[in-house]
């Protein structure tokens, strides 16, 4: 199972690695990116079974559409926009990216609510590590059953 962790706080990223190591029983690969800019290439060019994405990620990044047309791009400001863009990419039959299970993460319920309407599969408060472990366990069962 391939897991992409998009989290700007190194301490939390380490904690998610620890949780994944305890919860995920099968073969798994964990990749961490610390910013929107670092997330763009793996998020939109690679297949992931699971994407954990933080709502608030610091400076924006630029998703470039057609490189020969400079104005063909989109500024991405937060995790909500990353999720929406990933879902658009997954729905484009010309782009060979499979749908992922996406977990939206935020420090509190008010910010977590911003993922409403972005088509995330799960929403988890970042510090609710017990719930995060349960969600990852549930996802692993779904992914390995396929």
The CATH number that applies at residue 133 is 3.40.50.2300
Residue 58 has pLDDT above 90, yes or no: no
Total count of domains within the chain: 1
Per-residue CA distances from 74 to 10, 102, 122, 144 (Å): 27, 21, 25, 35
- pLDDT tens digits for 85-115? 899 889 989 888 999 999 999 999 999 999 9
* pTM: predicted TM-score of the whole model, two decimal places: 0.90
Structural domain boundaries enclosing 43: 2-145
Residue 43 has pLDDT above 80, yes or no: yes
- pLDDT tens digits for 60-70? 888 766 556 56
């Amino acid at each position: 199972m391939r897991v992409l962790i998009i989290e700007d706080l190194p301490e939390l990223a380490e904690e998610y690695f620890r949780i994944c190591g305890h919860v995920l029983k099968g073969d798994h690969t964990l990749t961490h990116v610390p910013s929107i800019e670092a997330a763009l290439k793996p998020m939109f060019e690679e297949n992931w079974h699971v994407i954990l994405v933080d709502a608030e990620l610091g400076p924006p990044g630029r998703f470039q559409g057609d490189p020969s047309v400079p104005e063909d791009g989109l500024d991405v400001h937060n995790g909500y926009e990353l999720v929406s863009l990933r879902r658009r990419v997954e729905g484009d039959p010309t782009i060979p990216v499979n749908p992922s299970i996406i977990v939206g993460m935020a420090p509190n319920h008010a910010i977590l609510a911003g993922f409403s309407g972005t088509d995330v599969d799960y929403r988890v408060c970042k510090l609710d590590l017990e719930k995060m472990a349960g969600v990852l366990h549930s996802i692993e069962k779904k992914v390995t059953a396929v």
